Structure 1
Amino acid sequence: MPRAVAIPGVPGLNPHLAFGDARVPEVVARLAAGRPVEPVWRNEIGGLTWAVDGGAEYVKYGPPHGEFDTAAEVARLRWVGAHVAAPRPIDHGVDATGHHWLRTQGLPGTSAVLGEWPDRAAEVVPELGRALRRFHDTVPVDGCAWEYSIAYRLTREPGTDTLGRAWPELDPVVCHGDACSPNFLLDAAGRCAGYVDLGKLGVGDRWADLAPALLSLGWNFGEGWEDVFLAAYGIARDAAKLAFYTWLWEAS
């Protein structure tokens, strides 16, 4: 998560910044060791990310869930950190309540959906497109031990069925796995300074990242930015792949 600590927002506008009466879990307080702690992000499974000491460290804390496998995320972070700026894992574990936690070092930068950035979409959206392209061009497929393929995702989500849909031809890259706008950090000049939430990183089709990235633009910046993003990424719209991977993202 971004080094700059988020200010809780209006729940109706951004539920990820609505913390209510969230209490610091015992394990987070222990890891903070007296340093200040503040919630900065709530995810869809009910987990919270806590900033420690103004963002020097972050602790992701949440219930057991297929979307939050801390050991797998640590392995991915250690590997991808040799290629792009990503959080450096410190440690991880399970507390007495069965909740999982992952502590990482903070990265400089602010999430692309916090602070002033949502009001500067004309600058931010092209940079997000360029940043995702840099990720795909930089992280090597050879040596990546994880999958983000269609078959893998269907296996992970047994209730999902392609229902006779033809699988598109693979254009392999190492996918971020959750290439939504909040997971890109920007520096003060508006350039991408790092990538976070890489727990699903693996080899798949580039449109498996492009589809949620385009969906996220509407959620965070409003409608009408898709072509700007694609132009900055450097790819023409592939309607068939976009439709397939949008469906797969929403289904799984």
Structure 2
Amino acid sequence: MAADRAGFVVIPAGDGWEPIEVGESATSVYRRGAVFAKCCDVAGVPALEGERDRVAWLAGTGLPGATVVDWLSSSEDGACLLTSAVPGVAGIDLPSWGWLGAMETLGRTLRELHSVPDCPFERPLESVVAAAEDVVRRGAVNPDFLTDEWRERTPESLLAQVVAESPYVASVAEPGVCHGDACLPNVFFDPLTLRVTGFIDVGRLGVADRYSDLALTTIQLYDVWSVDPTPFLTSYGLTDPDRRRLEFYRLLDPLTWG
């Protein structure tokens, strides 16, 4: 791997790597053919190691997705995770004619993910709330992640609502292997069959309340595709969702990025 300034890996060694825009990630991402390279500085190594281990574990479950191709690390420059590309089209780029079928296959596949046994990774609610507390304390909440209604309130008041609701949510939690950021850019589909071809960006994967995934997916379907998410929930096997939990996780998630 190579770096153009001390302490930050910018690109793996070799020619032909093209930079990729990756939204909210704190890493630099490149692609060469069917391989992606995600690179970080020294401070980001523990998180990238965690993502590496999650990619490898998920690949061993039989669910479709990426595989670890290589891992490069340096005590001075940081690290670089190389993974295979997931075939297909990201959900955010899927044409409208496929949305209904995609919702149905996504519901079944997410339910399958949530049911995988013996996951070694955990993402307990108390740790996620603690992360939100840290983001709010640092004044790092991104207003672009909030609804118009939430932007009219202070981050502190939003966090207080989360903390007040946490005991109820914890008392009814249904643990499963959750993606942790189950948004449309992170799930890929075969553009013809509409089957799910894999999940990407699994750095937050771990055992958590299934509603933490369901909340993000349903609000994405509503906001991005402008569709009623009922077919997704029905395919998942949920005909009477807990609206209170959906709203809780929809509010909690944007407070954890920052």
Normalising by structure 2, we get a TM-score of 0.73
Kindly indicate whether residue 237 of structure 2 is the aligned counterpart of residue 239 of structure 1: no
The alpha carbon displacement at 1:183 in A equals 1.4
2:211 counterpart SS class: helix
Which residue identity does 2:23 align to in structure 1? N
Percent identity, please. Answer: 27
Q: Which has the higher helix share?
A: 2
3-state secondary structure, aligned to 2:233: helix
Whole-Å Cα distance in 2 between the matches of residues 181 and 91 of structure 1?
A: 26
Distance 1:163 1:47, change over 3 A: same
Which residues of 2 match residues 125-164 of structure 1 at below 5 A?
125-137=103-115, 139-140=116-117, 143-159=118-134, 161=159, 162-164=162-164
Counterpart CA distance in 2 for 1:219 and 1:50 is 28
Answering whether residue 234 of structure 2 is matched by residue 251 of structure 1, we say: no
Instruction: Measure the CA separation in 1 of the matches of 2:9 and 2:44.
Output: 23
For 2:199, give the aligned amino acid.
Answer: Y
Of stretches 207-216 and 40-49 in structure 1, the one that deviates more from structure 2 is 40-49
Q: Which has the larger radius of gyration?
A: 2
Q: 1:125·1:225 contact (CA, 8 Å) conserved in 2?
A: no
1:167 deviates by 3.1
Query: Is the Cα–Cα contact under 8 Å of residues 64 and 197 in structure 2 kept in the other structure?
Result: yes
Label 1:197 to 1:107 Cα distance change in 2 as closer, same or farther (>3 A): same
- Range 206-215 or range 229-238, more displaced: 229-238
Q: Secondary structure at the match of 1:203?
A: strand
Q: What is the Cα-based RMSD across aligned positions, in Å?
A: 2.8
For 1:225 and 1:63, locate their aligned partners in 2 and report how far apart those are by CA, in whole Å. Answer: 41
- 1:184 has 2:187 as partner: yes
| Alpha carbons 1:112, 1:118 under 8 Å: kept | no
Structure 2: gaps spanning 5 or more residues? 1-7, 137-158
Asked if the contact 1:118/1:220 (under 8 Å) is kept, the reply is no
Question: Which of 205, 208, 215 does residue 204 from structure 1 map onto?
Answer: 208
C-alpha spacing 1:46/1:27, structure 2 compared with 1 (3 Å): closer
1:58 paired with 2:36, answer: yes
Query: Deviation per CA, 1:81-126, whole angstroms, max 9, x where unpaired?
Result: 1111221112334579956532112232221222x43553223222
Aligned length: 218
CA distance in 1, matches of 2:220, 2:76: 33
Query: Are the aligned partners of 1:70 and 1:92 in contact in 2 as well (CA < 8 Å)?
Result: no
> Given residue 182 of structure 1, which amino acid in structure 2 is its aligned partner?
P
Give the C-alpha shift of residue 175 in structure 1. 0.7
Matching of residue 101 in structure 1 with residue 80 in structure 2: yes
1:117 corresponds, among 88, 92, 95, to 95
Q: Secondary structure at the match of 2:188?
A: strand
Q: Which has the higher contact order (CA 8 A, sep 6+)?
A: 2
Other structure's SS at 1:28 match: coil
In the alignment, does 2:52 pair up with 1:74? Answer: yes
Closer, same or farther in 2 for the Cα pair 1:75/1:45, shift >3 Å? closer
Equivalent in the alignment of 1:28: 11
SS at match of 1:91: strand
In structure 1, give the amino acid aligned to 2:56.
Answer: R
3-state DSSP of counterpart to 1:185: strand
The answer to whether residue 17 in structure 2 is matched with residue 37 in structure 1 is yes
